[in-house]
Structure 1
Amino acid sequence: MIGSTADIRERKTVEKAVIHAKERLEKANQAKLELISRMSHELRTPLNGILGFAQLLEMDDSLNSQQQEFVQAILNGARHLLNLVNEMLDIARIETGEIQLTYDVIKLDSVIDESVKLIQPLADKRNIKIVNQAQLDEYYVYTDPTRFRQILLNLLDNAVKYNRDNGTVMITGRSEGGNICIHIKDSGVGIPKNEHEKIFEPFYRIKGTEVDGTGMGLALVKQLIQFMGGTIGVESELGAGSDFWFSLPAIKGDYSGGMNLYQKRLLQMGEKKILYIENSEANLKLMEKILEPFPNFSLISANCGKDGLKMAFRERFDLILVDIHLRDISGYKVLESLQKDGRTKQIPVIVFSADIASLEMEMLKISKKGLKEYMAKPLEVGLFFRKLEQIFTQNKNKEN
């Protein structure tokens, strides 16, 4: 008993220490954000004057070549400083959770094409060829359009700046485990393996290069992608170029916003309450966007299996959506618990998984206890609407 009491006391002491450490970190991040915000304000005021007058001098035809060169140096230095301040402020906002993202459905091919056009003039100066082989016309991502373009432009800009003259930049994309993975590969000098992680740190510059930059770009890109629920990485060798890649949750199919037959029918289904058990914040926001055209659907979310089960047992739902890969318990255990309980046994369920082969095998076992629908990721929106229409129609017929 003494030992147990001591263990409990020690655990509480550790928990308090963790809480205090977290509070100190939050205060430190907040203080850093406030400092950078004040610094940003103080720097922007003189920078506004410097950039404004320098641009007026740039347009002055009476300046000789040397004077024009000096003006360009002033402009480049001021713009460099402004970019540095902006990127530092963005990173600080992400770390404190105060950055605001405006989510929307993005057609990947369109955004990639737009980004390439913006970078092309920089590539043309050194005869660098940008080849877009992504072919992602049937895929969409649900994220912040402005920040997504910022990520693409930053990576493309680096692929050009750190490339060799007459080199190439190759853009490819593919579906991987419910996500879209975009690769931006250059034919530059490459990065030593011991620097692969360091290049994502603020102010770190690749050794042996003289390329202009703030040293903040990749750090900001990594923070943004992680904030959006994605991942980023790099594969590179000295002399063999670099391949930067990032992935984000995706949806597949036509999402042009047109109202198809299934959507019209869903609007006539009456009030429906749907529970979505999913631990990915990005996927939760994606489902909210997909069901946004249906004011008759009420979507409730749970970010772990245990919380989802509590909600399912406590409230009455017309449909439950479950992701197989949850952070606390397996999605299969959630299904079994729903099937065993009389309160939830008759509620239809759709299961989502990126590993569709394994899912099909498991669903054969589970279906013996009660038929369940399952769908692969990336989610095909049109098929999802058809499944919803089918499920709600069947339930309506049963009630009648």
Structure 2
Amino acid sequence: MATAEWLKGEAYIRISEPAKARPIIDAALARVAIHGWNTKLQGDLMRSRGAIAATAGNIVEALQDYQRAHDIFRAAREVRSQAISLQDIGQIYSDAGDYPRALDYYSQAGELYSADPGFRLSTFNNRAEVLRLLGRYDEAERDYRGALKSARELGSPLLKVQILANLASAETERHKFGAAGQAIAEALGLSRSGDAASLRPAVYAAAAKLKAAQGDVAGAAALLRKTFAGDDLTKTTMPNKEFHATAADVFEKLGDHAMAFQHLKAFERLDKEASRLTASAASQLMAARFDFQNQKQKIFERDARIHQQQAEFRTKLLLSLFAAATIVLVLLLISALRIRKSRNETRAANIVLNQTNTALEKALKAKTEFLATTSHEIRTPLNGILGMAQILLTNPRLDAEAREQVQVVFGAGEAMRALVDDILDVAKMETGEVAVVQEDVAFRAILEDAARLWSGHAAAKDIALHLEIGAAPARILSDGARLRQIIGNLLSNAVKFTREGSVTLRAHAADDSEMLVVEVEDSGIGIPADHIERVFEAFHQVDGGLDRQFSGTGLGLSICRKLAHALGGELSVVSAVGAGSRFTLRVPLQRPDDGADVPQRCGRPASLAEARLLLVEGNPLTQGMMRSILEPVAAVVDCLPDGDSAIAAIRAATADHLLVEARSATVQGQLLMDPLRSLVATCREAGVPISLLFAPGDDLPLDEMEHLGATQLIVKPINAVQLIAALQGIYADEERSTEFPELAQHPKQQFTP
């Protein structure tokens, strides 16, 4: 309430109604005396009351209030406010004509605080005005230029025009006409429009003063007429006093005695008013100093009485000290005993606290291990459910209603598996089991795979998916699996939260070439400012209500940031509601030792369980079914839709074994056998085994297939057990083999990919 009253009182002071401000400020001071003694607010109120007193001509009261405000600010360590109160006191002495003392206060204010360009401007300008009045023009010019520098820092045309006009007047008085002319030209340019236009008459006045000093009486007269155009010369204010004197002299020389007389009268009126104010202020200050001397004499007399009383007191004090020392010794002994007891109690409490912390750590570890174990164990039956759902969906005899029900089960299972994967990742991170490796990674291939994987989802929503990776290094040293996980998650979120527009995946080396930058930018719904950092917290979702529009656990971004930290980098986001988001991953950029972009293969894996298996299958549903069958027996299973993508992956050395559904290798405009030959030739050149899965037909005759040179031919239909056995057979027998399974042996397990 006191703050509100202060602001209201200040408003009245600013609109020159101090009579209305005084009772409001007094009421606020009474309130602060109870609830906020010696606070900055009390100091501000004292300054306001001092300003009211100064306006009313009560100089002594104003000075007392300003000094009290200064003491309060100093006690509260409010350096800026303390410096402002020094300026207030300096203004009192300046109004009283005591310019040396005013200059001293202004200088103290500038030495105490100079961090604020607005305050520096005020200090420099006040000092310069006083220095001009003292005739110290060189120093005045220096301070005006300091004020001008501060005005330029603030970028205020109004302040720059005011200081330039003052500077021009000072330089004119020093007969530096060239510099004064430059200052006036700049001020005229700044005052053409805006708030600064209100100061244009002051600029004209400074220019007239320059013209008069140069002997151009006619030019000075023209500028003075512009200065006072529309003004009543009987009501002009104190800042025009100096210009009236110039005008009286100019018009006298020009022979316009009537105009010269009017300006002379205006000058005399303002001069008398200034003299009266100065005399009043000076007399009040003199009275205050006289009263101070009386108070000082009284203090001397009081001090003499105090010295006598102190001598008597010392005698009594010595006797009391002896008794007090005895008491203190006894108390020290008692305190030592209590401290010892307290130390023992503290030691016992620390032991209990350590035991409790140990128990809590064990409980937390047990919880995390349980979470990790449970999540891992849920995966096994869940994979079985998903696999059986995929097999059911491939059954052509399944009616539409049953197929729809199985698709619901399959979709729910996929969502559950994603949740289990996220929970397992979080559990591993909490237990510190997440480790990163440094390996030769085909970075561009990872980006292309991620874009290819989510292009279908984007197309289904009619969203453009752009890939800008021309400036990205082809190969880096990092953890490919972790990079793939982060990029895939960011693309997933971008597609999910974008209703229309586009999603862009871009990557490049930073300007210093020490960091790799990956950005995923979308035109989606955006993130509110108060949720920007919270989106990286586990389980946090911006749309977290029961009726939310977007599904998800809220773990993805938390996992991504932790993985980014594990890679030695950082994940950040810039977003605005309705304007989309841009997630930026920055990780250290390390290139392979040879600096080349040509992949180097480190040797064939010893078994299928150690191999990175690349499946080429154009049907997304069949991809999902085959992945669920092959993931338990291979180290990594990646899927691509066509032969061109597979050739790029082989050349990037991201696969150890290729399993190709022959008809998925089709390239538009070419016969089916031609892309198969290219694919087989690429694999043989790279030393990668290739298994061709096909059903013989007119477009895939068996005799031509045998002559392609593939590592292995697998004829469809074939069941899951036979397919896995055939793939594992490559690592037991280096010779090329052809599998022709007997279809009738396992009728319930066979499928037709």
* Normalised TM-score (structure 1): 0.55
The answer to whether the aligner puts 1:239 opposite 2:582 as a matched pair is no
The answer to whether the aligner puts 1:117 opposite 2:459 as a matched pair is no
Distance 1:17 1:226 in 2: 35
Deviation at 1:237, TM superposition (A): 0.8
Which one of 218, 225, 235 corresponds to residue 557 of structure 2? Answer: 218
1:198 counterpart letter in structure 2: R
The answer to whether the aligner puts 1:171 opposite 2:506 as a matched pair is yes
Distance 2:352 2:475 in 1: 44
Tell me if structure 1 keeps the 8 A contact 2:365–2:431.
yes
* TM-aligned CA distance change 1:117 to 1:25, over 3 Å: farther
1:280-299 matches, within 5 Å, as none
1:148-187 matches, within 5 Å, as 148-175=483-510, 178-187=514-523
Stretch of structure 1 that moved more, 141-150 or 232-241: 141-150
Stretch of structure 1 that moved more, 164-173 or 89-98: 164-173
Which one of 437, 441, 445 corresponds to residue 106 of structure 1? Answer: 441
* TM-aligned CA distance change 1:63 to 1:231, over 3 Å: same
* TM-aligned CA distance change 1:206 to 1:64, over 3 Å: farther
Distance 2:588 2:347 in 1: 38
Aligned-residue Cα RMSD (Å) equals: 3.6
Tell me if structure 2 keeps the 8 A contact 1:32–1:92.
no
- Note the residue ranges of structure 2 that are not aligned, 5 or more in a row: 1-335, 599-753
* TM-aligned CA distance change 1:137 to 1:25, over 3 Å: farther
**Which secondary structure does the structure 1 equivalent of 2:510 belong to?**
strand
**Which secondary structure does the structure 1 equivalent of 2:571 belong to?**
strand
**Aligned pair count?**
255
Deviation at 1:247, TM superposition (A): 0.9
Equivalent residue for 1:255? Answer: 595
Alignment deviations for residues 34-74 of structure 1 (CA, whole Å, 9 cap, x no partner): 21133124423432342232222212223333322221111
Equivalent residue for 2:257? Answer: none
**Which secondary structure does the structure 1 equivalent of 2:558 belong to?**
helix
Highest relative contact order (Cα 8 Å, sep 6+), 1 or 2?
A: 1
* TM-aligned CA distance change 1:237 to 1:39, over 3 Å: same
Distance 1:22 1:136 in 2: 51
Distance 2:475 2:415 in 1: 33
Distance 2:502 2:375 in 1: 37
Equivalent residue for 2:529? Answer: 193
Deviation at 1:168, TM superposition (A): 3.3
Alignment deviations for residues 289-347 of structure 1 (CA, whole Å, 9 cap, x no partner): xxxxxxxxxxxxxxxxxxxxxxxxxxxxxxxxxxxxxxxxxxxxxxxxxxxxxxxxxxx
2:502 counterpart letter in structure 1: G
Equivalent residue for 2:245? Answer: none
* TM-aligned CA distance change 1:56 to 1:193, over 3 Å: same
Tell me if structure 2 keeps the 8 A contact 1:141–1:249.
no
Higher strand share: 1
The answer to whether the aligner puts 1:207 opposite 2:543 as a matched pair is yes
Distance 2:417 2:398 in 1: 25
Tell me if structure 2 keeps the 8 A contact 1:187–1:241.
yes
Distance 1:236 1:17 in 2: 48
Distance 1:16 1:185 in 2: 53
Percent of residue pairs bearing the same amino acid type: 31
* TM-aligned CA distance change 1:55 to 1:180, over 3 Å: same
Tell me if structure 2 keeps the 8 A contact 1:139–1:251.
no
Distance 2:423 2:585 in 1: 21
Deviation at 1:28, TM superposition (A): 4.2
Deviation at 1:174, TM superposition (A): 4.2
Tell me if structure 2 keeps the 8 A contact 1:169–1:187.
no
Distance 1:141 1:237 in 2: 33
The answer to whether the aligner puts 1:79 opposite 2:79 as a matched pair is no
1:275-354 matches, within 5 Å, as none
* TM-aligned CA distance change 1:68 to 1:242, over 3 Å: same
1:335-374 matches, within 5 Å, as none
The answer to whether the aligner puts 1:142 opposite 2:471 as a matched pair is no
Stretch of structure 1 that moved more, 240-249 or 191-200: 191-200
